[in-house]
Structure 1
Amino acid sequence: MRWFGFGFNAFGQIRVHEKLTEGARGDANEVKVSGPTELTSPADRPGCCVKAACQIRASWSRRASLHMDSDSGVCLAGFLSSDACSGLPLWESRGCRDALIGESYLTLAFSDRLESWDLQKEEKTPAWSMEIKTPPESSGASVGLPLVPGGYIATKPPLYRSLSPQLRAKCLALSSEHAILLSASGAVYTWGLGSHGQLGHGGLGSEEEPRAVEALLGMPMSCIATGSWHTVCISDGGDLYVWGWNESGQLGLPSRGLRKALQQQSSQQAEALLQDAGTSPVKEPHEGEQEDVFISIQAFPALLDITPSCDIRSVSCGSRHTAAVTTTGDLYTWGWGDYGQLGHQTLISSDEPQRVEFFREQQMHVADVVCGSWNTFAAVAKKEVSCS
């Protein structure tokens, strides 16, 4: 498996550039990677490689590569504040099974314990730790971070948060201000801030405790993801449901703000061309013209039809963009694209899901996708896709 990345690269999360120094941002070409670029080992960091048996975890300024082979451990790329996080595999992470990366803490999950390391300090011991006692009925099976026995781990203190065992949590996705939980039965629960409709309960109110999304009851879900103010999930049948804020088209629904910005840009370009030609633009009225329907906030789950010929297998959300993989290995992206995080070789945002043609042109089968806040990472295999 090979990993490709595109989008925000100010700290070398995708591609290390020569001018990059600690805390520096480089020039525009280094900050924005608009097309898929393979993740490779920096020349001066041969120990930090993206192996075939690898999973990617991402935050705004960092990327963590979790090695799943005999040399299991984590290596970091991106903004690093100490020599201990130089990009080489962290000695403290040897043997870990999962990792959760944030702006301040790296949490490691081992078979018998959890450890959270403060990335802004050069401490030799974790800032927080907890022993794990696996319940007998689990038969050694473990759930992935941020879920842990009895609760979940946040990216900032208090790091441990408890959950009711009655929820029977299967997986959990966290934004900075709200959470979405998928239960073993396929039910979806949300809580936290709801000011942009991101909880899916039909209003803009917040919830202190997990509350079932009633609009999805009776339709078991298999995958969940969340951005800063929007939420998505995939049903057992491969359908994609979206809700929350659509200011940048991150729901894949018509966005007034985005369309207006694109129209202004097109008008300015057209006016410039006409001025060069010595003519003036003429606007003619259109009788009976219907105003388009735009969606700023979608407070209830809405079905998003990306492609009629393929189901959706996996999905991930950035701060204001979304990426989904079809069952036939195509990657579709939409939403905010100012840093190239949509992978279309442009810096243009879009409120319509578009296929990332690079992988199809290279006859690559996309197996998984992971979004950082302003970038996207895709795992691919060399295999031709056939869905059109």
Structure 2
Amino acid sequence: MRWFGFGFNAFGQIYVRETLTKGEFSDDVQEIKVSSPTELTAQEHRRDCCWKTEGQIRASWSRRASLHLDSDSCVCLAGFVSNESYTVLTVKESRGCKDAIISESHLTLAFPDRLESWDLQKEEKTPSWSIALKTHPESSEPSVNLPLVPGGYIATKPPLYRSLSPHLKATSLALSSEHAILLSASGTVYTWGLGSHGQLGHGGLVSEEEPRAVEALWGMPMSSVATGSWHSACISDGGDLYVWGWNESGQLGLPSRGLRKALQHQSSQQAGALYQDASTSPAEEPQEGEKHEEVFISIQAFPALLDITPACEIRTVSCGSRHTAAVTTTGDLYTWGWGDYGQLGHQTLISSDEPQRVEFFREQQMHVTDVVCGAWNTFAAVVKEEVACS
């Protein structure tokens, strides 16, 4: 397995250049904005951490955590590690961990016998929070699927531990800074938290203090859930993708008025420059009778079915702050939404409200198996295999 990253790299979350290792914030666009998928391995091999066959990526805004799963499992941090350095290092306290999650303030580690949360803003020799775990009789390891933990979940900010009703029978949980989406054992989706942009999927803009089932999805069991800053997504057992919430940057893959206006303004500026240079008039605007009324969606308060590609089902989905990425069962990666930092992987800085395949991996005959979105960047796991589906 190989991991690639693209998007926001101001702190060296994707790769580290000399200016960043010296602790200097770079204003070089090529260092901050990585628009072409870049392999993570080469950078980490030159430092205190090497990529293994099995592993996972966890990402926050300024950091990336690489979880290496082998006989000597550990976590490597890349990005804003301390007040004076942007680098890659191994977290010594993580040796032997089985899972990890990271936020801007804390790194939480799951061991076979305990959970530990370390405050990344302080240099302490003991965890800021910990709890012992009891293994189940039928298993040698405890039932932990971070951020879910026995009896509750780990939040993105203090208080870190939040309780959950056992009646929910949660199997997975996705968190933004202000709202949460939970998947139960029966495939039912629950949401709670801030609802100002329709991100809870209940049809309104009201916040919810307690988990509430998304009624529009009743009768359709879901297999996974994901959440961005103000939008949410889930995949059905049949491989269908549902999205809802804020669509200002096209992160739902639905027509966005704000995004189209920005692109039109950019195009008109380019056309104006061309007119001045070539002394030719820009294309005439269509007459009033020729214009077609287009429906734009700023907020989608109910789950909407997003048909990315009729030929393939969706395997996994991940949400950034204002962009979304999904992997099909045939190994293709599609991205859409805000792209100002190159986080869509199309080797441009253009945003899009239409899902587009990341051609880099197809051209390199790589089969994408997983995707993880940071707030402003994207990480994709691939294997070397030609994709058969067109």
TM-score (norm 1): 0.96
Q: Is the CA contact 1:318–1:374 (under 8 Å) kept in the aligned structure 2?
A: yes
Give the secondary structure class of the aligned counterpart of 2:268.
Answer: helix
Q: Aligned in 2, Cα 1:77/1:154: closer, same or farther, shift over 3 Å?
A: same
1:299 to 301, 307, 319: 301
CA distance in structure 2 between the aligned counterparts of 1:351 and 1:294, rounded to whole angstroms:
10
Aligned twin of 1:13? 13
Counterpart contact for 1:242–1:301, Cα < 8 Å: yes
Moved more, 142-151 or 14-23: 14-23
Summarize the Cα distance change of 1:112–1:40 in structure 2 as closer, same or farther, 3 Å threshold. Answer: same
Aligned residues: 388
The CA deviation string for residues 28-55 of structure 1, in whole angstroms up to 9 with x for no partner, is 1100100110002537953212222111
1:163 corresponds in structure 2 to 164
- Partner residue of 2:378? 376
1:321-362 deviations in Å (ceiling 9; x for gaps): 000000010000000000000000000000000000010011
In 1, the alpha carbon distance for the partners of 2:9 and 2:328 equals 26
Instruction: State yes or no: 1:183 paired with 2:159.
Output: no
> Is this contact kept in 2: 1:134–1:149, CA < 8 A?
no
**Matched position secondary structure for 1:228:** coil
Cα deviation, residue 135, structure 1: 4.9
- In the alignment, the residues of structure 2 paired with residue 205 and residue 174 of structure 1 have an alpha-carbon distance, to the nearest angstrom, of 18
Contact 1:72 1:97 in 2 (8 A): yes
Name the structure 2 match of 1:151. 152
> In the alignment, is the contact (CA less than 8 A) between 1:246 and 1:298 conserved in 2?
yes
Contact 1:112 1:132 in 2 (8 A): yes
Please say if residues 82 and 122 of structure 1, whose CA atoms lie closer than 8 Å, have aligned partners that are also in contact: no
Task: Specify the SS of the correspondent of 2:51.
Answer: coil
Kindly provide the amino acid, as one letter, of the partner of residue 123 in structure 1: E
Residues 215-240 of structure 1: CA deviation (Å, up to 9, x unaligned):
00100000110000000000000000
The one-letter amino acid paired with 1:176 is S
**Equivalent position of 1:73 in the other structure:** 74
CA distance in 1, matches of 2:126, 2:83: 14
CA distance in 1, matches of 2:63, 2:18: 18
Matched with 2:129 is 128
Residues 319-338 of structure 1 mapped to structure 2, 5 A cutoff: 319-338=321-340
TM-fit CA distance, 1:300: 0.2
1:351 counterpart = 2:361: no
The AA in structure 1 aligned to 2:128 is A
CA, structure 1 residues 287+210, in 2 after alignment: closer, same or farther (shift >3 Å)?
same
Q: Residue 22 of structure 1 contacts residue 80 of structure 1 at CA under 8 Å; is this kept in 2?
A: no
Contact preservation (8 Å) 2:44, 2:88: no
Q: Does 1:46 align with 2:10?
A: no
Q: CA distance change for structure 1 residues 134 and 151 in 2, over 3 Å: closer, same or farther? A: farther
SS at match of 1:272: helix
State the alpha-carbon separation in 2 of the partners of residues 143 and 375 from structure 1. Answer: 27
Deviation per CA, 1:164-222: give whole Å up to 9, x if none: 00000000000000000000000000000000000000000000000000000100000
Question: Is the contact between residue 201 and residue 245 of structure 2 (CA under 8 Å) also seen in structure 1?
Answer: yes
Secondary structure of residue in 1 paired with 2:288:
coil
Give 1:18 shift.
1.2
**Which stretch of the first structure deviates more once superposed, 260-269 or 137-146?**
137-146
Paired letter, 2:305: L
* Secondary structure of 2:219 counterpart: coil
The more displaced of 15-24 and 353-362 is: 15-24
Does the CA-based 8 Å contact 2:2-2:41 persist in structure 1? Answer: no
Do the aligned residues in 1 keep the contact of 2:10 with 2:26 (CA within 8 Å)? yes
The 3 A distance-change label for structure 1 pair 108 and 23 is farther
Match of 1:31 in 2: 32
The residue that corresponds to 1:60 in the other structure is 61
Q: 1:85 to 1:48 in 2, by over 3 A?
A: farther
Question: Percent sequence identity over matched residues?
Answer: 79
**Does the CA-based 8 Å contact 1:45-1:87 persist in structure 2?**
no
**CA shift digits 1:84-111 (9 cap, x unpaired):** 9963321111111111111111111111
Map 1:237-252; keep pairs closer than 5 Å.
Answer: 237-252=238-253
Distance 2:358 2:85 in 1: 36
C-alpha deviations, 1:103-128, integer Å up to 9, x for none?
A: 11111111111111111111111111
Indicate the SS of the match to 1:384.
Answer: coil
Change (3 A) 1:207 1:137: farther
What's the TM-score once normalised by structure 2's chain length? 0.96
CA distance in 2, matches of 1:284, 1:318: 37
Counterpart of 1:315, as a letter, is V
Q: Is the 8 A contact 1:215 1:301 kept in 2?
A: yes
Shift of 1:301: 0.3
Give deviations 1:287-311, integer Å, cap 9, x for gaps.
Answer: 1633210000000000000001000
Unaligned runs of 5+ in 1: none
Deviation at 1:144, TM superposition (A): 1.3
- Contact 1:320–1:336 at 8 Å: present in 2 too? yes
Provide the aligned C-alpha RMSD in A.
1.8
Structure-1 separation of matches of 2:362 and 2:44: 29
**Code of the aligned partner of 1:10:** A
